[in-house]
Structure 1
Amino acid sequence: MVRKILFLCVSTLLCVMGVLAVTATFDDKTRWIWQAEDGPANTWVAFRKEFDLKKVPETVLANISTDTKYWLWINGEMVLFEGGLARGPHRDGIYYDEVDIQRFLKLGKNSVAILVWYWGKTAKTHEDSGKGGLLFSADLGETVLTSDCSWKLKVHPAYDPRSKGLGRSANRPNAMDVKYDARKAMGDWTSTGWNAVDFSMDESWQTATEKGSADTMPWGKLVKRPIPQWNDRGLADYESLRIGKEQITLPYKNGGETPVRIFAKLPFNKQMTPYLKVKCGGGKTINIGTDNPFNLINAQYTTKNGEQTFETYSWMNGHEAKYEVPPGVEVLELKYRWTGLGEIAGTFECSDPFFQRLWWMAANTLYICTRDCYMDCPDRERGLWIGDVADQTGAVFYTLDEAGRLLLKKGIDNTIAYQDSDVIQGLAPGFGEYRGKSSELTVQSNQYIAQGIWRYYFNTGDKATLANAYPSVLKYLKLWEMEPTGLPQIRNGYASWVDWGTNPDKQPVEICWYYIALDAAKKMALELGETSDVAWYDARIKSIEDNFERTYWRDGYYGTAGAVKDERVSALAVLNGLADESKYPALLKNVLTTEYNASPHMEWMIEEAIVLAGDTPAALNRMKERHAFQVNDVAVTTLCEKFGERKGTYNHAWNAPNYVLSRYIAGISATEVAWKKYQVMPNLAHMTAVKQVVPSVQGEIDVDIKRTDKLYGMKLNSPEGTTAVVGIPKASIHPKVIEVNGSTVWKNGAIVGNIPGITWNGEDKNYLKFNVAPGKWTFSAKTK
């Protein structure tokens, strides 16, 4: 019998509903399965299937898709903790996972067990299919194991579908609280045999109902998961446990008459799932949450008789987990599982502990806002707001590994797939999926074009993703009309929002962002060979350049006549080049270092503009002043949404101080697409040492700088496939001799040596510069 081979590798990138993705062909017999009822929402369903193997193949990959999340066991061993992604890649599709299960299989009888959690709610950033479902297919060599009516299932009775969460607005997380009653548990249902201890296959297990073949609606086209599975670090002990101010150790028994709260301290804020092991009678309710005031995902566990364990499979975040333990409960173990996407691969160290801690806090903030998508916050919303993502992109390429870059690609693809006509929406899936209207935030849409889409391409060289996005970029920018003034007419999105901060001068801010987006889109067109579009960009760019100064220059700063002085306008004018260098001294004096209206969303741009305007110490002073209230708080390990007393969420996506520190203090930045060429132009200001690791697409770039009054030393490990330009900063030292790997290459203003891999690049007012080939290099600039 001829059958389709499972996992037919479609290696070609296909454009599916506007999304560049790898699709899969499932076996003809594979069926979506569920209970007879389509839902209901917030349902946990257990699936089981037994099968025999006469031979274990060398490779066995399983394709698995669910609406929405799943946990996988084979032969009683957990294979995958929280598989699946929020739906979808586009309006008519769903993701599937490819999971290597070979090492879990054995000769003879095998079992597969899958717990599926169906959310059943459309919100940020998940589009509900309307039906729970499981799709499974694995090529076992002599046979294909597929999901069909031969599987057994049971709605897990211990999970309460009425748990809090379904009534929350669509502006809140998709996941609901977990409410679990162990008295209704099914025993060891994931084990290898039907007759395992405390488990038997009884009449309560139903035959699975077939709901349709692969690619059938409402699930739609299957798109391969574009990011790795979570980095599951396993269960770990908390750093410490306390009740009030008193530290405790385990085992601990609540012998009182009222519940007690045990606070379990994490090393730092993390995405994690709490775990417990207790001994007690049945019917005791243990509430589980975190210290995070905005945490909207909690758990409740009701005990059975005896010794028992429980883990809240729905992740939450915070600095401490909270367990509310009722009287009569003996706590034997408290642990947590830290999961997340990839790793923080970049590092930044310096002689100033404040800025070293700030960089690490920003990196941790970014990592916690990274999972199914880049999100604005891990608690209140978990939404892919594209302005927040644009802020994150500066940090991504100095901080995260390949998984972080792939997640940004996914975010771009999702945004393009969920555009509203020609509008680039502010959220994907977007307000239209659950509110019936666009989520366009004009400032964020333009920011995303420049700092999201273009920056992603420039740092990765992924031209296919750029080509997929570019037509939408052009269409969106053409929605803007020009006024007789020669400046763009401001569009009305669903909300007129430019920043959380105070006194926004909205119109010139929006004009600046449109100008920045035009410039980025022109670069896209040139990269893609779309030269016929360039004249249109040039005309609009020139019109803004000819009229912005006349309209908004206010004798020392940029802004609207009569408006409160707003440093954001002047900063954007510096960043986008509308302000020429002759204006820099006035801008530094009158607005960039004196006004404090920006929220963290745009604060990093103010600091970047101050650096570009020539006063790096002032940028660092402002950075320190703005972030001191968090950095100096030893209990805090992430950066919050707002400055001042109203902090908002205490882990929010706009975390870009590490972008400024990496790009301008360590001075490392790409100068050619995909880091084929980059520069190291440090500006240490008051610091005496900086060490940076950049996880570029070409490999790790490792820079280690130390300086004294008489010596400036730099070690550079430069990856293959790159050319670096290294600058010795004149502000740090006035050398008479420069040595590379122990040999003199420059002396008293002239090149004197010839070292293979090192050539002279000239000098400017700030740096003595050298071209550097791949390899390990040590530069020593000496005053004698």
Structure 2
Amino acid sequence: MKFIVTLLLCLVSLSSFGYDWKAYWISTDACQSEPNTWLSYRKTVHIVQVPDEAIARIAADSKYWLWINDNLVVFEGGLKRGPNPEDTYYDEVDIAPYLKAGSNTIAALVWYFGKQGFSHNSSGKAGFLFDCQTSGIEIISDNSWTCCINEAYSTCSGPKPNFRLSESSILYDARKEMEGWVTQSFKSSFPGASKLQKAGGAPWNKLVKRPIPLWKDFGLKNYVKSYKSKDTLICVLPYNAQFTPYIKIKSPEGCRIVMGTDNYYYYNGATENLRAEYITKAGIQEYESLGWMNGHRMYYFIPEEVEVLDVKYRETGYDCDLAGSFYSSDAFLNQLWRKSLRTLYVTMRDTYMDCPERERAQWTGDAVNESGESFYALSPSSHALTKKWLCEIIDWQQDDGSIFAPVPAGNWRLELPGQTLASVGYYGAWNYYLHTGDKITLHHLYPAIKRYMELWKENETGVVSFRNVGWVWGDWGSERDMFLLINVWYYLALKGMYQMALELGYTNDADSYIRRMTSFKNAFNTHYWTGIAYRDSSYKGKTDDRVQALAVVAGLADKDKYEALLNIFKTEKHSSPYMEKYVFEAMMMMGYEVEALARHKERMKYMVEDPYFSTLFEHWNIGIEGYAAGTVNHAWTGGGLTILSQYLCGIAPLKPGYEQIAIVPQPGNIRQAKAEVASVKGMIKSSFVQEEKGITIDVKTPADIPTVVGVPINNTKEIRVNGTLIWKQGAYRINRVALAYEDDSQTHIKFLVRGGNYMFQSINH
């Protein structure tokens, strides 16, 4: 088995590095690799016969747009560097549909960021690489290409974007544009390109295949509405989106149009982000600013002498479907799920992001929550972004074994121990495997995670000593019992490692982890349970609700503590929206569904009911009553989406890759609800309607996949499935549809069925 996995890993490696590259990184001698440099490339090639497929391998530092024979082939290609501290991603694009027999023109526009950032590791040199080798065709970037600096592009004057962003605010001067340079009919010529390094050479080093899809391009669309306020044209988007603004005007020469969103001018997280500017040429003209922005409103500041003929926007984003769904009889929960989904999607691109305007940074604790949501809300193509995140934090591991985030990053190296433990453990690496069954990636991650876990040493009480490294951050807000927070995250990491070791066949490791978990749990409860709460003796603040929640979801707190913990969750409310997900989950796991829903609705009320925003906030509110530095679309806040689908509607994988499925709804006081999940095995549907006479649960799971269905007890007299009696007055009835399923549940009567469509109906006393 280990040999097979090793072989598969080698094949994966060869797919990235074993290709016989012939191309060179190319640029122009005039380029000094200044920040925010834009380069134009052209190449004419003659083709005798167009093949069925022609895969071009394309890389750029930092982004590129590609045209072939006047057709836009790629809108914003390339990924921010890098897969590790040294190397660079490349794209694969099938260009055959755009080629023709005879003369073909290839044009590329490259945007070189030239700055470090919290999501980009700059190579320090602008460059472009193109390598297409197929039957009868060889198109490689070398000095047969032409290249020049595109001087129409430059940088807006201050204020500059904050240091976390590698992008610059783009100024385009139409008076300097090379009209039609991407077309076949362009008559002027550029200087010859300069060869810098052959593929694989420094500073870009090894080329690693892009692990996620090219962006979905929704095309140019009309705004929902537009209206004028003095010199400003205000355009309304249907929701918070990643988009590029377009404008068509009639203007004299030299007028300056400024473009920015409400997330630039008003809801910017208390620091500068990105805007765009355009200087007109004379006559009718159109322009699309290529650096994506986000927000609910687009503001065009229009000089008086400029006539606006049209405005549009182009939404782009991660290429997946919003395939999951949720609906219930509670309008608030429906809105919560929808806003969580929109928040998730607007914070996915090159990486998971904490927010799409202030930082665009892959803080790894945020990514834990995002990845959990993606399994319930998006199509399986989204799983690649979770894999990319996990591989990046591992492949950026430092020499001393520590793991930090955000990565990729050119100007950050500090570890956040709590977030790292969350990522490598139960809710991170293990949850990815549970939902995907991707054992090859699990093999890749495991040794590095094991090495990281060895950095944590046991203290005199039997838990782990505090590693005062990097940024010891537990959560925003007050009343943080930091020692216990870190320790419970450590236990969750142990729990994930135990599951991974079992799955990978590392029995000695698994035995070691389970022994450690057993001794840790005993020590934790002996030394830190006060009788009413978990508390470190050196901590003097109010009881930390976060610690109690993590203790429940980790399995450290047994059922005899639930009543005391419920009282804490009713009275202590200190967690940020990031950690509130775990409180919500803990209360559902404890079986207090009504109280769990009430608390989450109370805490989320302000942002869910806000009529302006389609996304959820970094903090509990904004404006006068809020936190000035918070963003209005923050990835970590949507964890309630996961809980509604996983617990309220009860959908979860029982075995990795959905080889066995659970449908165990916890309705609480919700009259009806339904959810759909696009799993790796196919679509899963769960719905319930509860009435005074009993509950009806409709289940649809992929054919032949074993499915465990749980019916809430609730004074149940009998249970039928598809009309057949299967349980009555406390006893299972033999039948040909459902088998009895025994576990330690005290809340549900469970049955095992083969995948398919089923209607379970209970009748109460």
TM-score (normalizing by structure 2): 0.93
Other-structure match for 1:23: 16
Amino acid in structure 2 at the alignment position of 1:288: M
Other-structure match for 1:4: none
Contact 2:222/2:311, CA 8 A, preserved across alignment: yes
Contact 1:44/1:156, CA 8 A, preserved across alignment: yes
Contact 1:13/1:22, CA 8 A, preserved across alignment: no
Amino acid in structure 2 at the alignment position of 1:448: S
Q: Which whole-Å CA distance do the structure 2 matches of 1:400 and 1:47 have between them? A: 37
Q: Which whole-Å CA distance do the structure 1 matches of 2:529 and 2:762 have between them? A: 43
Residues 611, 54 of structure 1: CA spacing in aligned structure 2 closer, same or farther, 3 A cutoff? Answer: same
Matched, 1:461 2:453: no
Matched, 1:74 2:55: no
Residues 691, 122 of structure 1: CA spacing in aligned structure 2 closer, same or farther, 3 A cutoff? Answer: same
Other-structure match for 1:249: none
Matched, 1:448 2:416: no
Other-structure match for 1:176: 168
Residues 12, 635 of structure 1: CA spacing in aligned structure 2 closer, same or farther, 3 A cutoff? Answer: farther
Amino acid in structure 2 at the alignment position of 1:154: C
Q: Which whole-Å CA distance do the structure 1 matches of 2:617 and 2:156 have between them? A: 32
Matched, 1:85 2:63: no
Amino acid in structure 2 at the alignment position of 1:771: L
Contact 2:81/2:408, CA 8 A, preserved across alignment: no
Q: Which whole-Å CA distance do the structure 2 matches of 1:474 and 1:457 have between them? A: 16
Deviation, structure 1 residue 574: 1.2
Residues 12, 230 of structure 1: CA spacing in aligned structure 2 closer, same or farther, 3 A cutoff? Answer: farther
Residues 21, 670 of structure 1: CA spacing in aligned structure 2 closer, same or farther, 3 A cutoff? Answer: farther
Q: For 2:254, which of 264, 277, 283 is the aligned residue? A: 283
Q: Which whole-Å CA distance do the structure 2 matches of 1:429 and 1:779 have between them? A: 47
Residues 330-388 of structure 1: CA deviation (Å, up to 9, x unaligned): 11111111111122221111110100110111111111111101111111111111111
Structure showing the higher helix proportion among its residues: 2
Q: For 1:231, which of 186, 208, 216 is the aligned residue? A: 216
Residues 166-185 of structure 1: CA deviation (Å, up to 9, x unaligned): x6554x22111111011111
Other-structure match for 2:456: 480
Residues 118, 14 of structure 1: CA spacing in aligned structure 2 closer, same or farther, 3 A cutoff? Answer: farther
3-state SS of 2:142 partner: coil
Other-structure match for 1:187: 179
Q: For 2:703, which of 720, 726, 743 is the aligned residue? A: 720
3-state SS of 1:234 partner: strand
Which 10-residue stretch deviates more, 390-399 or 706-715? 706-715
Residues 424, 379 of structure 1: CA spacing in aligned structure 2 closer, same or farther, 3 A cutoff? Answer: farther
3-state SS of 2:614 partner: coil
Other-structure match for 1:206: 191
Matched, 1:669 2:669: no
Residues 236-260 of structure 1: CA deviation (Å, up to 9, x unaligned): 111011224xxxxxxxxxxxxxx61
3-state SS of 2:124 partner: coil
Q: For 2:137, which of 118, 138, 143 is the aligned residue? A: 143
Other-structure match for 1:610: 587
Residues 423, 383 of structure 1: CA spacing in aligned structure 2 closer, same or farther, 3 A cutoff? Answer: farther
Q: Which whole-Å CA distance do the structure 1 matches of 2:9 and 2:28 have between them? A: 33
Contact 2:24/2:198, CA 8 A, preserved across alignment: yes
Deviation, structure 1 residue 13: 5.0
3-state SS of 2:153 partner: coil
Q: For 2:26, which of 23, 33, 42 is the aligned residue? A: 33
Q: Which whole-Å CA distance do the structure 2 matches of 1:488 and 1:505 have between them? A: 15
Q: Which whole-Å CA distance do the structure 2 matches of 1:188 and 1:430 have between them? A: 36
Matched, 1:222 2:211: no
Contact 1:164/1:177, CA 8 A, preserved across alignment: no
Residues 422, 324 of structure 1: CA spacing in aligned structure 2 closer, same or farther, 3 A cutoff? Answer: same
Other-structure match for 2:721: 739
TM-score (normalizing by structure 1): 0.91
Q: For 2:100, which of 96, 101, 106 is the aligned residue? A: 106
Contact 1:676/1:721, CA 8 A, preserved across alignment: no
- Give structure 1 stretches of 5+ with no counterpart: 1-10, 195-199, 245-258
Q: Which whole-Å CA distance do the structure 2 matches of 1:640 and 1:169 have between them? A: 20
Amino acid in structure 2 at the alignment position of 1:235: L
3-state SS of 1:456 partner: helix
3-state SS of 2:524 partner: helix
3-state SS of 1:160 partner: strand
Q: For 1:417, which of 370, 395, 404 is the aligned residue? A: 395
Other-structure match for 2:374: 396
Amino acid in structure 1 at the alignment position of 2:691: T
Trace 1:621-660 onto structure 2 (pairs within 5 A). Answer: 621-644=598-621, 645-646=626-627, 648-654=630-636, 655-660=638-643
Q: Which whole-Å CA distance do the structure 1 matches of 2:725 and 2:138 have between them? A: 67
Other-structure match for 1:248: none
Other-structure match for 2:497: 521
3-state SS of 2:317 partner: coil
Q: Which whole-Å CA distance do the structure 1 matches of 2:432 and 2:531 have between them? A: 37
Other-structure match for 2:292: 315
Contact 1:47/1:152, CA 8 A, preserved across alignment: yes
Residues 150, 332 of structure 1: CA spacing in aligned structure 2 closer, same or farther, 3 A cutoff? Answer: same
Contact 2:162/2:358, CA 8 A, preserved across alignment: no
Residues 136, 494 of structure 1: CA spacing in aligned structure 2 closer, same or farther, 3 A cutoff? Answer: same
3-state SS of 1:206 partner: coil
Which 10-residue stretch deviates more, 208-217 or 287-296? 287-296
Q: Which whole-Å CA distance do the structure 2 matches of 1:739 and 1:456 have between them? A: 33
Residues 425, 759 of structure 1: CA spacing in aligned structure 2 closer, same or farther, 3 A cutoff? Answer: same
Q: Which whole-Å CA distance do the structure 2 matches of 1:770 and 1:641 have between them? A: 41
Residues 374-431 of structure 1: CA deviation (Å, up to 9, x unaligned): 1111111111111111122221210122232101101111111111124443314366
Contact 1:14/1:22, CA 8 A, preserved across alignment: no
Contact 1:63/1:98, CA 8 A, preserved across alignment: yes
Trace 1:309-708 onto structure 2 (pairs within 5 A). Answer: 309-341=286-318, 342-429=320-407, 433-435=410-412, 438-450=413-425, 451-561=427-537, 562-589=540-567, 591-644=568-621, 645-646=626-627, 648-654=630-636, 655-708=638-691
Amino acid in structure 2 at the alignment position of 1:416: I
Amino acid in structure 2 at the alignment position of 1:441: L
Deviation, structure 1 residue 542: 3.2
Amino acid in structure 2 at the alignment position of 1:759: L
Contact 2:463/2:487, CA 8 A, preserved across alignment: yes
Amino acid in structure 2 at the alignment position of 1:291: D
Amino acid in structure 2 at the alignment position of 1:66: A
Deviation, structure 1 residue 26: 5.3
Contact 2:720/2:727, CA 8 A, preserved across alignment: yes
Deviation, structure 1 residue 163: 5.5
Residues 491-535 of structure 1: CA deviation (Å, up to 9, x unaligned): 012122100021111111111111111121122122222223234
Residues 164, 695 of structure 1: CA spacing in aligned structure 2 closer, same or farther, 3 A cutoff? Answer: farther
Deviation, structure 1 residue 774: 1.8
Residues 103-123 of structure 1: CA deviation (Å, up to 9, x unaligned): 111222111111010111121
Deviation, structure 1 residue 27: 5.2
Other-structure match for 2:237: 266
Residues 283-309 of structure 1: CA deviation (Å, up to 9, x unaligned): 111111111121711100111111111
Q: Which whole-Å CA distance do the structure 1 matches of 2:19 and 2:260 have between them? A: 40
Other-structure match for 1:306: 283
3-state SS of 2:105 partner: strand
Matched, 1:118 2:112: yes
Residues 164, 414 of structure 1: CA spacing in aligned structure 2 closer, same or farther, 3 A cutoff? Answer: farther
Q: Which whole-Å CA distance do the structure 2 matches of 1:69 and 1:766 have between them? A: 54
